[in-house]
Structure 1
């Protein structure tokens, strides 16, 4: 099956108010072509689920600079002064989680788990309003699964059906996000034919990918 479409077609379903996962770490390994397309489309009031808010004008940071984000669920916003400013002004809702908890909450949504038990955040502001569970005398926070309507992920190489292999920071959250979204768009640096990636080298299988676009394409 050939899932390759234009970038414009890929984001056609993403409208104002959408919840979107974006892979990568600090903007590295992010789907930059798809992000730029969202900036050009100028969809508003987005909820982003990502590792961080990127840096100024790089990665997910482009969406904050353009004031398209209503809420961000991530582990850190400090490296992006624009997201920090918007939070201080009250125009951006920020929900922070320890990085490991965030990763596991996304994975829980993708793989049908009811939540994650963790000690991270106990005794801090993180635990406010959350359920605590005691297991064998040990207390844990219950963090619930994080799901999204869309996931935008990047891989260095992928085939026309959506099988792909990540490199470096592109691996950050991408496999879990691909499973945790209703509709997953894969941006690839190099597009190959089906069968050109050895089965043992595939990090995310085609069954989790709905559409494929090429980096720098239209």
Structure 2
């Protein structure tokens, strides 16, 4: 079975429809599937529900789909870096289902393992618990959370073999593995595709059984918030040179 496609557009062909639920990997702008997001914009698919930790930033990442008004609802844990998100939500143009971050990740992971729901203490006594089943275990109250079964998952990995066994680089191993697991079809973009057998089995973060389609491409990898500390006076002048560097 050939999982490698020539472009993001080709990899999404036949999978998209209006009103669908998409699980998207990434955290802010770290480890996001940039090429697949651009292909979604070009597809003009609309009324999408997206399950993702957040919605990118204004004009980049999933924020591009806000600009084109293709998103109907977001299932997220954090939305603080996107002014257009705030505008659409406050004006009633965008639905929002808030999830505690760990709960959102577990809802994806649970679905990927065929688990329709689970109980958690997180959110008990808050608006998160409203309308949800409550149950006691050992004298403590828990609420029922349902797994997120997405129509399509779009994720980004660093390296994968031709069967989809994937490795994520450092903090890009955030929401990508659980998002990949919960989609009926998982489409993954990677920086490098290597022959089968090239990767150490002990280093695999996501087994290829979860991945259905692969593309290779170059990503911009924009930094969301660049922060640097001022140089100390000592570091400005290397010993013996008298010159700033």
* Other-structure match for 2:230: none
Pairwise CA distance, 1:121: 1.2
Cross-structure match for 1:174: 176
- The one of 153, 159, 162 equivalent to 1:160 is 162
Q: How far 1:120 moved relative to its partner?
A: 1.5
Equivalence map 1:62-141=2 (5 Å): 62-141=64-143
Matched, 1:15 2:17: yes
What TM-score, normalized by structure 1, do the two folds share?
Answer: 0.95
**Deviation for aligned residue 1:140:** 0.8
Q: Which residue number in structure 1 is paired with residue 5 of structure 2?
A: 5
Q: Which structure 1 residue ranges, 5 or more long, are not aligned?
A: none
**36, 42, 52: which one pairs with 1:34?**
36
Quote the offset at 1:58 in angstroms. Answer: 2.1
Corresponding position of 1:150: 152
Contact 1:63 1:69 survives alignment (8 Å): yes
In the TM superposition, residue 124 of structure 1 has moved relative to its aligned partner by: 1.1
2: CA distance, partners of 1:206 / 1:5:
15
Deviating 4+ runs (over 2 angstroms) = none
TM-score in terms of structure 2 length:
0.85
Aligned length: 217
Instruction: Name the larger-Rg structure.
Output: 2
Shift of 1:112: 1.9
* Cα offset, 1:147, TM superposition: 1.1
Following TM superposition, by how much is the alpha carbon of 1:15 offset from its aligned partner in structure 2, in angstroms?
2.2
Query: 1: distance between equivalents of 2:174 and 2:10?
Result: 25
Structure 2 contact 22–151 (Cα < 8 Å) conserved: yes
* Deviation readout 1:6-61 (Å, 9 max, x if unpaired): 22221112122221011010021011011011111221111100011111122211
Aligned Cα root-mean-square deviation (Å)? 1.4
- 1:118-154, Cα deviation, whole Å (9 max, x unpaired): 2211111111101011001110111111110000011
The DSSP-based 3-state class of the residue aligned with 2:123 is coil
Whole-angstrom distance in 2 between the partners of 1:43 and 1:216:
24
Describe the SS at the equivalent of 2:171. Answer: helix
List runs of 5+ in structure 2 lacking aligned partners: 220-245
The residue that corresponds to 2:201 in the other structure is: 199
Distance in 2 (alpha carbons) for counterparts of 1:215 and 1:116: 37
1:73-127 deviations in Å (ceiling 9; x for gaps): 0101121111111111111000001101111111111112242222211111111
